[in-house]
């Protein structure tokens, strides 16, 4: 009997034993390796903090208006979250009094509503008072004009400052003792400018990998590139008192 057969037989015996003992829990999000949850390294969540620079999301219809009939988003760079990408395309975002940001990256895939996500500094330079909102919650937010090589679109609403948030799968959520919609605290230790961010919203999804998204102002405030450690904690837990 070869070693490979031996091992698969042992695995199957162990699986059966676990099933019979009732130890098996609801299937967690499992990575492609099949051994640990998506994004985990060495049996632990692998916290990643990323700066989400100003960008926009577009509907299929707006892609065609801005880039020409029959146009689709062309993936340029994959984002850390599987299935999401920075497109080759950019748009010009125009605010009131003709102030504008000339080249704002489009992220894909397309969505049901177009949306522009800015840092506070961007929104000041555009002259748009963009409220802090969670992605997709754009009712009553200001609009702008988007200009592409083939046309322009007047957005009636959708300009926001994206609220800081953390993507995670259900195994990550269990590890931190949080659920979708909870708030967490992110501590970034950096030489001379450590920052603790409150109000980090948990966005749990089966297919997500553990990743905090902050905007460029937040990333610059804590000099994220020079950070020596990052830590994520559940907000309001007893250990803070």
- Chosen residue from 55, 133, 161, 213 binding Zn ion by CB under 5 A: 213
Burial degree of 8 (CB within 10 A; 0-12, 13-18, 19+) = exposed
Select 107 or 146, whichever has its Cβ closest to Zn ion: 107
Q: Is 62 in the site for Zn ion (CB under 5 A)?
A: no
How much is the CA Rg of the chain, to the nearest whole Å?
22
Contact segment (CB under 5 A) with Zn ion among 27-35, 38-46, 56-64, 207-215 equals 207-215
Count of CA atoms in the C-beta half-sphere (13 A) of 5: 2
Q: Is 209 in the site for Zn ion (CB under 5 A)?
A: no
Report the nearest approach of Zn ion to the CB of residue 101 (Å): 20
Select 133 or 213, whichever has its Cβ closest to Zn ion: 213
Count of CA atoms in the C-beta half-sphere (13 A) of 74: 7
Q: What is the DSSP string of 161-210?
A: EEPPEEEE-HHHHHHHT--TT-EEEEEEE-TT--EEEEEEEEEE-TT---
Select 54 or 213, whichever has its Cβ closest to Zn ion: 213
Select 210 or 222, whichever has its Cβ closest to Zn ion: 210
Indicate the residue whose CB is closest to Zn ion: 213
Instruction: Summarize as ranges the residues that interact with Zn ion (CB under 5 A).
Output: 213
């Amino acid at each position: 009997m070869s070693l490979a057969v031996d091992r698969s037989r042992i695995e199957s015996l162990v699986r059966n034993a676990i099933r019979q003992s009732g130890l098996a829990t609801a299937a967690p999000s499992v990575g492609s390796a099949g051994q640990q949850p998506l994004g985990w390294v060495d049996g632990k969540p692998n916290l990643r903090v990323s700066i989400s620079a100003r960008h926009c999301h577009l509907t299929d219809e707006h892609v065609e208006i801005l880039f020409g009939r029959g146009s689709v988003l062309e993936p340029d760079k994959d984002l850390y979250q599987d299935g999401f990408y920075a497109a080759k395309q950019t748009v010009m975002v125009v605010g009131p009094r003709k102030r504008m940001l000339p080249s704002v990256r489009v992220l894909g895939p397309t969505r049901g509503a177009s949306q522009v996500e800015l840092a506070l500094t961007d929104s000041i330079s555009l002259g748009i008072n963009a409220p802090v909102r969670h992605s997709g919650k754009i009712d009553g937010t200001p609009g702008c004009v988007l200009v592409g090589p083939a046309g322009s679109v007047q957005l009636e609403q959708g300009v926001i400052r994206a609220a800081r948030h953390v993507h995670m799968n259900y195994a990550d959520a269990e590890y931190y003792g949080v659920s979708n919609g909870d708030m967490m605290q992110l501590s970034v230790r950096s030489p001379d400018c450590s920052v603790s961010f409150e109000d980090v919203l948990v966005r749990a999804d089966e297919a997500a990998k553990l990743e905090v998204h902050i905007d460029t102002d937040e990333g610059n405030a804590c000099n994220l590139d020079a950070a020596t450690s990052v830590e994520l904690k559940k907000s309001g837990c007893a250990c803070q008192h």
